[in-house]
Amino acid sequence: MSENVHVMLTEEEVAGRIKELGKEISGDYEGRELLVVGILKGAAFFATELAKRITVPVRMEFMSTSSYGSSTVSSGTVKIKQDIETDVAGMNVLIAEDIIDSGRTLAFLLDYFKKKGAESVRIATLLDKPDRREVDVNVDYNGFTIPDEFVVGYGLDYDQKYRNLPYIGILELD
């Protein structure tokens, strides 16, 4: 099997949009502290770059969930592989996700943080694929809405490869 990657969003487009999202989030949280929770491994690049663009006080945590394994299709079951250390009770939580596909992971995490007593829980995603949505979730901060293509780069992977690409590309498998 051979693999090809074609650029969908350039490095410059991604950086520019993250800067805009940071400005919007900073305005929305003016005068408050924010806990940014990056979802590993995919959102590590996005969460870090986004946090650098937010001007209000930011705490950062990372957690790991799983629903894909080595497949290009979600299994439908969300598991927490690594939780955060911070007690979120009374905090403003911003979940930073690389891509929203079925919506299952984000619906799970919204409920999870609300049950733990977060004052507010919002979602920031680099990419949104609404054509694949199975569970309705409100995306508060959306980088790009994309068509139903399998994408890699900027943290997104296929079987743990391609995360290091500085752009978002469409993966074609032969």
Q: Active site includes 101?
A: yes
Tokens 């937010």 belong to 54
How far apart, in whole angstroms, are the C-alpha atoms of residue 25 and residue 96?
A: 12
Closest to 94 in 3D by CA, of 156, 143, 139: 139
Coil, strand or helix at 60: strand
- For the chain, where are the alpha helices, taking DSSP H only? 11-28, 44-52, 104-115
Q: Which residue is catalytic, options 98, 101, 140, 157?
A: 101
How far apart, in whole angstroms, are the C-alpha atoms of residue 139 and residue 3?
A: 31
Q: What is the DSSP string of 79-118?
A: EEEE--SS--TT-EEEEEEEEESSSHHHHHHHHHHHHTT-
Is-contact 67 76, C-beta < 8 A? yes
Catalytic residues: 101
